[in-house]
Chains A and B, each alone.
Chain A
Amino acid sequence: MRYLFIAFTLLLAACTSPTAPEQTTVQEVNVYSHRHYDIDQALFEQFTKETGITVNVVNASADELLVRMQTEGENCPADLLITSDAGRLVRAADMNLLQASNSEIVNQTVASYLRSVDNLWTALTVRARVLAYAPERVDTSLLRTYEDLASPIWKGKVLTRSSTNIYNQSLLASIIANDGDSMAIAWAAGVKANFARDPQGNDRDQVKAIAAGEGDIAIVNTYYVGKMLTSDNPAEREAAEAVKLLFPNQHDRGTHINISGAGIAKYAPNKDNALKLIEFLLRKDVQQQFADANYEFPVNKEAAASDLLKNMGSFTEDRLPLENLGELNARSVEIYNEVGWN
């Protein structure tokens, strides 16, 4: 038993040596990130090389990171929260997990509807939620808006993933904001009635389902199509080449967009470094890589979108402040539940 005790004490000592040291001698910034792309890691390394500030990362889904930050409270070591949608940043702000920071660079680089009014968070990249369709089977004169998806002419044609996905939640939130609550309920019910199959799989699966003839129209994010077009898998490239993309609502409010974004944590021990990292990620040359690798649109307008995205066509984006998406998120989940869009 004594040996057990000694062994256990040693284990305890070995395990609790802080993984994110607090010494001021080491310059560092701790990131809680939902984005786990290889490019992020590469850019963090570049940041370290340029500034000498080490970047420590924990990846998990944003929902889980928020609960973790909340639970860790004042002890939370996170400096920067990065999510891949606006809804979670708004929720983080609501949960009082973020703090304001004022940066000329952020204010000048990022359009106002792409950041919080209280300077709690800012967008880093933009992605659009568009419609992919089978060109030979869909008459696009009848399909110009998200609202058109609910029209009975598309019965049995519409493909989408589950409503538990944040991108669908944010899309419905934008419809609530633009069209009102009762219209939004009717829309969700109408689209559900048009499903080609029960919502399942991810965005890529919807595009493949078009190629397989299971349905004609899919709701997808632009960058998934970009990734499919450059996929390692030849059959995926083929499926993506077989569909066309349509940016909805070009003649009224514009296409629904979402963002990757970042906010500084309320109890950040390295606030200045966190801000430096945000400003670094917004820099023109970094934006180009950051957006390029994931086929997203840069928020820094001086940085050009990738050729692949340019080929998808330029479009007008819905300038609804993204803050509204987060505020309406819970209502959007309720509506999906009510109409039975699983």
Chain B
Amino acid sequence: MAGTDAPYSGLGKPGFLRVRRGGWLILATLIAALVLVPLLLLFTSIAADGGSFDQLSNTQLPRYAINTLTLVAGVGLSTLFLGTSLALLTSLYRFPGAKFFRLALLLPLAFPAYIAAYVYAGIFEYSGPLHLIGRHFGKNDLYANILGMPGLIAVLSLVLYPYVFATTRVAIESRYTSYLESARSLGLERNALIRKVLLPLLRPAIAGGVFLVMMEVLNDYGAMKYFGIPTFTTGIFTAWFSMGDLGSAVRLAMYLFIIVVMLGLLESWYNRRNKVSESHRSRPLEKRQLQGVKAFLATSYACGIFFIAFIAPVAYLFYLLSIADSSHAIAEWPKLAGSSLLCALGGAALVLLVVVVTQFVRQLVKSKYGFWVGKSIAVGYTIPGAIIAIGVMLFSRLVDNTFNQGMIVAGSFLALLFAYAVRFAGVAYQPLHAESEKQSGRLFEAGQSVGLSAKNLLVKIFLPLSRKGILLATTLVVIDIFKELPLTLILRPFNFNTLATKAFEYADDEMITRAALPALSVVIVGLIPVLLLHRILRSR
């Protein structure tokens, strides 16, 4: 693939501009095609499969639709409220602990939704710690069954609100402050300023965060299954894996895809309508000190959310760990952690390769075609992991059969990494795209006009300027792969376990106490990229 570019890469003379760009464009096209082929294979290989869709549509479809929409709307609204309120509070005011909470409130991001589902259900259940403690003090009814729709919305909201919190915080702190300053110089009083100027300015960032949350909800499988909520996502699994009905699975996937596309269009329409140009290097908005009751309430609110979303579940996992027989898991731990790390780093490297090249080429050629090539690689993010896994399997088999006779790619670690690239290129797309948007019309064009070769444009201008975007993208992808489950479960090679798959296997075998060690490890190791994310956000 890099061969297409090699003959041109060293040439910097303007006369070769067209050819050189052509080479890069072919490279980007090839990469995008590579990412898209598994998905195309899926759809074509099962186009003919009719399946028993009529039966499914009559009985299940309305329920899937209602549950899916309720869940997406419920989690969307509650993360909107939680994320925005906490971001405003910690970025605009000073109160005891404010600085700490700016970091602390990001931490729940390290919890995979399926682990959170088991943990919260465990805390509240009959044999959970609440009930045990309550009984100790003579109170016998401190337990509740939180399985079901409201419980699921609450659990998913608690692990997903940091997306909204983070995007909103970044927007408040670095982007629009010059608007605020000019509005202030017009004599607008602070509260009115926040209400009338700041909040409208924040809308695109909030919408972006909520969109990410909704995508995560639609891709969850483990939590929905455990809480007993059938949706399009679980329906795909039932149709495909339990009923062997590929046709229905794909049609359900199509519905899911339509919902995702609609949400995406809604988000970009909304953001275009509310578009504001960003201002850089302006002074951050000054924070106001909260006093007395207000300060107390602010601290209590932030503290309460932090406790419920992070401290309580972590404490519960430690409690399980303390009563569990973890000898087996401890012996295996270094190997598990190593595999998890290998997956995350290898996957992130491949994702970056895909996204950097396509985004660079988009910048280089500035055509509609280049734009769509750059955007198309993000599509895998809208498709559930298990579906992608099958696509990658089909693709690996095709490659193996074409080039040799055995199983080389299929069942290999490379196939797994490749699947991560297909699934998570979309995660890296957003930050890199945003970063390269900012560059347009400035240095990049200046570089082009003085006849820098494409290679030099990439190495000397694009990469350094996209540094923060790349770092943010890497961090997000590493977090995602660390928590990833269905893809890894299906595609992993022989004798290969990660922390996430081990945690899931124990939980699935209903041995939640034994799941504590690997689950806690996923969360704690997942904290590292989250801390990094915090630094990146702060430095922006």
Contact = CB atoms under 8 A, between A and B. Distances in A.
Interface in A222-243: 224, 227, 231-236, 238-239
A179 interface: no
Given A4-B353, A200-B147, A236-B127, A15 B414 contact: yes
A233 B127 contact: yes
Interface stretch (A100-108, A303-311, A334-342): A334-342
Interface in A195-237: 197-205, 208-209, 211-212, 214, 224, 227, 231-236
A77 B490 contact: no
Q: Main SS of the interface on chain B?
A: helix
A241 to B, nearest CB: 12
A20 interface: yes
A30 B225 CA distance: 30
Interface string B1-28: 1110110010000000000000000000
B278 interface: no
Contact of B505 (A36, A198, A200): A36
Contacts of A338: 55, 59
B65 to A, nearest CB: 14
Interface string A24-51: 0000001000001110000000000000
B408 A72 contact: no
Nearest to A336: B59
B143 A212 contact: yes
| Chain A contact residues: helix, strand, loop or mixed | helix
A56 B495 CA distance: 6
B226 A201 contact: yes
Nearest to B356: A4
A137 interface: no
Contacts of B286: none
Contact of A337 (B56, B121, B400): B56
Given A8-B353, A16-B409, A212 B145 contact: yes
Contact of A233 (B3, B56, B323, B390): B323
Contacts of B234: 164
Interface string A51-95: 000001111110110111001110111000000000000010001
Nearest to B127: A235
Contact of A199 (B5, B228, B510): B228
A2 interface: yes
A333 interface: yes
A333 B242 contact: yes
Contacts of A239: 126-127
Nearest to B408: A16
Contacts of A56: 494-495
Contacts of B492: 58, 60
B147 A63 contact: no
A11 B400 CA distance: 17
Contact of B132 (A4, A72, A235): A235
Interface centre among A30, A66, A161, A205 (most CB of B within 10 A): A205
B489 A61 contact: yes
A201 B121 contact: yes
A18 interface: yes
A1 B2 contact: yes
Interface residues of B, number: 81
A52 to B, nearest CB: 17
Nearest to A15: B414
Contact of A208 (B55, B127, B501, B508): B127
A140 interface: no
B63 interface: yes
Interface residues of A, number: 72
B537 interface: no
A5 B455 CA distance: 13
Contact of A18 (B56, B226, B406, B509): B406
A193 B418 CA distance: 48
A11 to B, nearest CB: 8
A278 B124 CA distance: 42
Contacts of A208: 125-127
B396 to A, nearest CB: 8
A289 B237 CA distance: 34
Interface string A292-321: 000000000000000000000000000000
Contacts of B126: 208-209, 211-212, 235, 239
B386 interface: yes
Contacts of B514: 232
Contact of A77 (B6, B390, B407): B407
Contacts of A18: 406-408, 412
A286 B52 CA distance: 43
B147 A201 contact: yes
Contact of A16 (B6, B240, B346, B414): B414
A342 B228 contact: yes
Contacts of A183: none
B183 interface: no
B243 interface: yes
Nearest to A64: B490
Contacts of B56: 337
Contacts of A232: 320, 323-325, 513-514
A272 interface: no
A164 B397 contact: no
Contact of B494 (A58, A334, A342): A58
Contacts of B69: none
Given A63-B242, A212-B126, A15 B411 contact: no
B489 A64 contact: yes
B400 to A, nearest CB: 6
Give me the 9 closest cross-chain CB pairs, A-B, nearest first.
A200-B228, A235-B127, A63-B241, A15-B414, A5-B2, A212-B126, A56-B494, A19-B493, A200-B147
27 contacts: A2-B6, A2-B9, A5-B1, A8-B1, A8-B2, A18-B412, A38-B328, A60-B490, A64-B490, A71-B394, A75-B401, A75-B407, A76-B407, A162-B225, A162-B228, A164-B225, A201-B147, A204-B510, A208-B126, A208-B127, A211-B126, A233-B320, A238-B127, A333-B242, A338-B59, A342-B63, A342-B230
Given A1-B9, A16-B414, A231-B513, 14 more contacts: A5-B2, A8-B2, A16-B408, A56-B495, A63-B237, A63-B241, A71-B410, A162-B230, A164-B225, A169-B242, A202-B226, A209-B145, A212-B145, A239-B127
